[in-house]
């Protein structure tokens, strides 16, 4: 069991899996040329919702990433800050996390290459979420804090599962070794009997046909009977 616990702690520290959950879809655009940047939260399927902007600029997805550490149960979970992943219509191959520190440089590059100005996009999106009474999301995007929670019950469950796997593996190895040992010893016994019947020493193949029940080989000196 202590080995299972140590392995579970090792798995907690070295194995992780990441999942992503979409929390909301938003759109960025301007109602007309020179109009301020506006954001709208989509309540329906984005693929079926028309753009209600005179100048649509980008689609934005609010995401929560979850990093679970450990196997098969997650001993501790990390929640990075929320992501505001923007995909400009001018260049859909570009994806910019508006809440990331690198967003400013990426937005400047986007503006210089495509002419799309999304400089105030983060502030506009925060105001839109705040107006929609999504204060928890706004606080997460503003503070940019990483939250980590520990689940010792999951670590204990991993230790039990690991111990059970070790137990089954040990039994399988022991039984396999016993079966192989049985067949090897049986083969060796048949080999010895076959050589003795042929009148030869089973070890050095010396001719012992003249001796009926040799106790040891007169050539190599090894014990045969008794």
pLDDT score recorded for residue 212: 67
Top pLDDT among 222 and 185 is at 185
In whole numbers, what is the pLDDT of the chain averaged over residues? Answer: 88
Say how far apart CA 215 and CA 30 lie, in whole Å. 105
Confidence band, pLDDT 50/70/90 cuts, at residue 157: confident
| Portion of the chain with pLDDT greater than 70, in percent | 98
The pLDDT of 143-154, averaged and rounded, is 91
Say how far apart CA 70 and CA 3 lie, in whole Å. 16
Q: Which residues contact 176 (CB under 8 A, 6 or more apart)?
A: none
Locate tokens 């690198």: which residue? 102
Strand 96-97 to strand 83-88: parallel, antiparallel, or no bridges (unpaired)?
Answer: antiparallel
- Does pTM surpass 0.75? no
Top pLDDT among 159 and 124 is at 124
The pLDDT of 130-139, averaged and rounded, is 94
pLDDT score recorded for residue 46: 82
pLDDT at 225 exceeding the cut of 70:
no
């Amino acid at each position: 069991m202590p080995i299972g616990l140590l392995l579970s702690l090792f798995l907690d520290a070295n194995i992780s899996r990441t999942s992503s959950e979409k929390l909301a879809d938003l759109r960025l655009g301007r109602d007309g040329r020179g109009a301020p940047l506006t954001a709208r939260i989509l309540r329906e399927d984005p693929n079926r919702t028309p753009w209600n902007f005179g100048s649509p600029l980008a689609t934005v997805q609010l995401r929560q990433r979850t990093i679970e550490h450990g196997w098969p149960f997650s001993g501790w979970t990390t929640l990075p800050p929320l992501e505001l992943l923007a995909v400009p219509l001018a260049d859909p191959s570009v994806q910019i996390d508006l809440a990331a520190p690198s967003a400013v440089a990426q937005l400047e590059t986007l503006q210089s290459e495509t002419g799309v100005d999304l400089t105030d996009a983060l502030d506009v999106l925060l105001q839109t979420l705040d107006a929609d009474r999504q204060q928890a999301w706004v606080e997460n995007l503003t503070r940019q804090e990483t939250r980590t929670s520990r689940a010792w019950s999951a670590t204990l469950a991993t230790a039990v599962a690991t111990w059970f796997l070790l137990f089954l593996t040990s039994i399988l190895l022991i039984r396999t070794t016993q079966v192989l040992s049985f067949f090897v010893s049986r083969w060796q016994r048949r080999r010895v009997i076959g050589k003795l019947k042929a009148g030869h020493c089973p070890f050095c193949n010396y001719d012992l046909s003249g001796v009926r029940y040799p106790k040891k080989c007169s050539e190599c000196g090894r014990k045969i009977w008794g």
